[in-house]
Structures are given as C-alpha cells and as structure tokens.
Amino acid sequence: MSEQSPASGPITDGPADPEHDSTATYALDRSYVASLTRRVLSTNGETHAVSSPIGRAPLAHIPQSSPADVAEAFARARRAQVAWAATSLDQRAAALLRLHDLLLDRQDELIDLVVWESGKARKDAYLEVAHLALTARYYARTAHEHLDPHRVGGMFPVLTRAEVHRVPQGVVGIISPWNYPLSMALCDGIPALLAGNAVVAKPDSQTMLTALLAVQLLDEAGFPPEVWQVVAGPGPEIGGAITAAADYVCFTGSTATGRLIARQCADRLIGCSLELGGKNPMLVLRDADVHRAAEGAVRGVFSNAGQLCVSTERLFVADQVYDRFVDAFVSRTQAMTLGASHDWSVDMGSLVSQAQLDKVTAHVQDAVAKGAHVLTGGRARPDLGPFVHEPTILEGVSADMQCFGEETFGPVVALYRFHSEDEAVERANDGAYGLNASIYTRDAARGRALARRIRCGTVNVNEAYGATFGSLGAPMGGMRESGMGRRQGAEGIRRYTEAQSVATQRLVPIAPLLGMSEETNARVMTVALRLLNKLGRA
C-alpha cells in the first residue's frame, strides 16, 4: 500500500481553544464558520468543539440546541409550511434544479468541507456531490409523476368519480449520520420539501458544517429559509424533542437508535422511515470474471473506508474461482493509496473518529485472537492519520467472532468459500440484516434470478452497490433489521405525503333508489357486480 502524508497546513486563524491549548490553530476561517453556524437554532449559548480526523485540526465550535430550541424550530417550520405547500409544484421543482447546478458549481468547497469533517478520500466526497445532484434532478423531473392527483376507478362507472391526492405530512424531522455528511444532509429532505413539507434537520454533531453549507445552497437556490430549520446537539438529548413534535420522522443511523425512534413514533402514531445498518454479502459465482469481481470488491469493501451502510462485509466466493479471486483481490487491495489528506490521489481515507477506529480494531483483534487469518492489512496506521486503518481482508472467520454477524462499519471483510449456489444464498440470507447484496457472474440473467432469492432491499449484479444507489428511480432501503421504508423512487417521496381520496357521486345515491326495497336493491346490485366482473373492471 502506498501512503499519503497528512494534509498540508490548515488555513490558520488564531488559537482554537486558547484556554486549553495555546498551540492549536483552526483549520477553517472563523468568519466562514460563523456564516454557516448562524443557521443553527440555538439560544442557550452552549457550543460543541469539533476537530478534523485530518491531524485532529480544530474546526469549529458548533452552537447547540436545547429541547426548547427544537420545539421553537418546529413551531417556525409549521408556520412556514402552510405557505410553502401553497406554492406550485413547478416552482418547487425549479428551485431543486437550481440546487442541482449550485452543487456542481460549488463542489470544491463542498468536498473540502466533507474531507475536513470526515477524513474521507476526496473521490468519496465527490460521489456525495454527484449523488445529491442526481437526487435533486431526479425528483425535480419526476415530481408530477409522483405527486399529481390521479383518477381511479369509482364504485360505479360514470356514476362515481374518484381521485387520489397527495397531501404533505406537515413538518418532517430528519436525523442523519456522519458517514455521508453531504448526501445524508439533504437527500432525504429534498423530496420532503418538494412534496410541500417543511423540515427540521438534525445532522450528526461531527459533520454539522457540511450540512450547514448544504443548507446555505438550499437558501441560495430559492427555498424560503424558514422551511428548513437546523438544530444541533447529541441525539440522546434532543432526539426526543424531534419525535415529540414531528409529523413524520426520517432517520438514518444505527439499528439500535432506529428501534428507539420507531417506538417513539409508534407512541404518537406518526410514520417514520428508518435506514439502518447492514452486514452486506457479495457473491462471486463460479462463472464470474474474477478481475472484474476483485475490482468491484475493492469498491464494495473499502469505499469510504467501509463506513457505508451498503458496504460489503461478507464475501462468498465459489470454490472453482476462490484462489484466483483472492489473489486478484489481495493484490488490488495492497495497491491502494491510503491517507488522511485533501489530495485526489488517496484511494482510501481515514475513519471518522477514535470510536470508529476502536470498533474496527476490536473486531480485527477479536477475530485474530479466535483464529482468523489476516490476508492483508489488519493494523491501525497512526503514522498516516490518527484514525487511519489499513484495508483488511480476513479468512477463517467463524460464528463466535464479533465480525461474523455484527456490522463493523469499517474497511474489514471476511472471505468464505461456497460449494453450491443454494448454500451461498442461504449463507447470504443468514443474520439479522437485509440491506444490500451483490452478485458477480458472466450470466447477468442468472445473476438477476439469484438476486430475487436474496432478502435484501437492493441487489446489484456485476457492481457492488453503485448501480442501485445511483438509479434514483429504484427504491433503496433495508429488509429485516436494516430498516423500514425506502428512499429514492416513488416510495422516497410519497412517504412524505398522506393519500387523500375524494369521490363524487353522480345522479343516484349509493343506496336503494326511491321506493326500492333493500332486498330488490341487493338483487340489482348483485347483477351489476356480476356485469362489472364480466367486463373485466377492477
């Protein structure tokens, strides 16, 4: 593995925390940070210090919101939502298309901030820009298809006219994680706004600045600032105030927190969608092109240093190609450039935090202590950055090891041989999760048929995750403990609406006609029902 030295000197702007460290310097200009953080609704004067995984450079003190601030954010959003819902769909879609262009125009600034806050490789940060631009364009162009009122068959042809409208939920609470700070900041909120909702967003504390820059772009694109409120703070402290006031909650994060949110929403009988964890399998079939599969596995396992909900953590390889695949996969992995820096040449960046590094280290050490072999990687690399960990391939992982069934959320994969495809499907479906899977084969039709047997919300044939993730018309989300509900596609926007049916009865009532007995009415009705069935009516 080749290596990148840590980031070149940060932009300095005086001492970061003069009380505690007179040598620390801010990585970002303080007036720039202030221009972003003013969008946080915070009245209690408290702040939270954030530093970068790149050299632990101090980044900012983020104002914190109290539960009362969260309640005020909902009140403001609720007031603004009424006028927002009254705007035309075309007006809202036009703002989204302006956002699309702003994202592309301001990509360098966005990427810089994503890299500062997360330590990820620049190429991974770019994919966030691309995903968000795709999301904005997709929903802007398909808004009418998903949201326009439409006629459905009435009870009686001609006599009953029925139509379905999509009514916005109201104010949507969006709680997002740190792993895709830009993409997760807006991708779920864009369809909520388009459908006529207001949003109160709580991004993760580590990645507030990126989320706030994204909100600045929303403002510049022409969305009224009041329809997108931002609150900041630890989830356990202000999360309850969000679920207490929202009309709908969209949560992305761990399965443990997802369960808690679902319970809180159930108590209030409000809806929620939950995008949670995974332990995603990749299957390399006996007829696979092993080089293409190895290249896909590098992307599937090590993109974003494995901190990706759809990341591959279990690799099942057919006996017949196992040795050739492993050789190709290991040598490609060893050729990766690691580093914690802003340079485009980094293939795999840093983990986001000490907590992530500790978890990854614990999973690898536990596996090794119980008899797994490290084919490559296996160590933290403090020489490259405080939270950098090598891309790691394990063999001989067994059910008693933590990394067998628990999500690692890091650059670690376990390799397993399989002898038959039935066995591979059974093992892929094992465990609690069901988020993403991938299948490599030269026979794409066979791959698609096998995909249908895998209990995951997305399955990619001859790609690791990008094919489903980037196909915005295709719903994305988890089965089983990987979540509820879907982002992307029709489901991704209709979740933010309630269906309202309006039916108009013409000429005759749905009741016995004047003077007709109930018995006669039942006979007439039965004849009508038989006739409608003969005519093939729904």
Nearest distance, CB of residue 31 and ligand NAD, angstroms: 27
Binder to ligand NAD among 95, 309, 397, 412 (CB under 6 A)? 309
Residue 27 CB burial class (10 angstroms; 0-12, 13-18, ≥19)? buried
Task: Extract the runs of DSSP E, i.e. beta strands, from 237-291.
Answer: 248-252, 271-275, 280-284
Helices vs strands, H then E, count in the chain: 19, 24
Which span sits near ligand NAD by CB under 6 A: 8-16, 125-133, 269-277, 319-327?
269-277
Rank residues 418 and 469 by Cβ distance to ligand NAD and give the closer one: 469
Q: How far is the CB of 307 from ligand NAD (least distance, A)?
A: 7
CA dihedral sign, ordered 427, 430, 431, 436: positive
- Contact between 177 and 184 (Cβ < 8 Å): yes
Do residues 230 and 39 make contact, with C-beta atoms less than 8 angstroms apart?
A: yes
Q: How far is the CB of 20 from ligand NAD (least distance, A)?
A: 25
Taking CB under 6 A as the binding criterion, the range among 132-140, 276-284, 336-344, 524-532 that sits at the site for ligand NAD is: 276-284
Stretch that binds ligand NAD, among 23-31, 270-278, 359-367, 422-430 (CB under 6 A): 270-278
Nearest CB to ligand NAD, comparing residues 124 and 421 = 124
Which of the residues 199 through 228 are near ligand NAD (CB under 6 A)?
202, 204
Residue from 252, 441, 488, 497 touching ligand NAD (CB under 6 A): that is: 252
Q: Which of 180, 187, 60 has the alpha carbon at shortest distance from 120?
A: 180
192-214: b (≥16 Cβ within 10 Å) or e = bbbbbbbbbbbbbebbbbbbbbb
Tell me the closest approach of the beta carbon of residue 320 to ligand NAD, in angstroms: 32
Residue 235 in contact with ligand NAD, rule: CB under 6 A = yes
Residue 407 found at the interface with ligand NAD (CB under 6 A)? yes
Of the ranges 67-75, 171-179, 335-343, 527-535, which one interacts with ligand NAD (CB under 6 A)?
A: 171-179
Contact status: 6 vs ligand NAD (CB under 6 A): no
275 is catalytic: yes
For residues 28 and 128, give the distance between their C-alpha atoms in angstroms, rounded to a whole number.
21
Q: If we measure between CA atoms, which residue out of 177, 173, 70 comes closest to residue 117?
A: 177
Measured from the Cβ of residue 22, the count of other Cβ atoms closer than 10 Å reads 9
Residue 177 found at the interface with ligand NAD (CB under 6 A): yes
Please state the closest distance from residue 429 (CB atom) to ligand NAD, in A.
18
**Given the residues 275, 313, 390, 481, the one annotated as active site:** 275
Order of strands, sheet of 171-175, starting from the edge strand that comes earlier in the sequence: 228-230, 198-202, 171-175, 248-252, 271-275, 483-484
- What number of other Cβ atoms are within 10 A of residue 441's Cβ? 22
277 near ligand NAD, judged by CB under 6 A = yes
Give the nearer residue to ligand NAD in terms of CB position, either 36 or 476. 476
**128 binding ligand NAD? (CB under 6 A):** no
Q: Which of 63, 189, 196, 239 binds ligand NAD (CB under 6 A)?
A: 239
The Cα 299–Cα 438 span in angstroms is: 12
Alpha helices by DSSP H, listed for 171-207, are 183-186, 189-194
d(C-alpha 18, C-alpha 132), whole Å: 38
In angstroms, give the least distance from the CB of 490 to ligand NAD. Answer: 18
Judged by CB under 6 A, which stretch of 77-85, 176-184, 327-335, 446-454 contacts ligand NAD? Answer: 176-184
Which positions ≥6 away from 80 have C-beta within 8 Å? Answer: 198, 224, 226, 227
179 binds ligand NAD per the rule CB under 6 A: yes
Whether the Cβ atoms of residue 392 and residue 413 lie closer than 8 Å to each other: yes
Catalytic annotation, residues: 275
Binding footprint of ligand NAD on the chain (CB under 6 A): 175-179, 202, 204, 235-236, 239, 252-254, 257, 260, 275-278, 309, 407, 409, 435, 478, 483
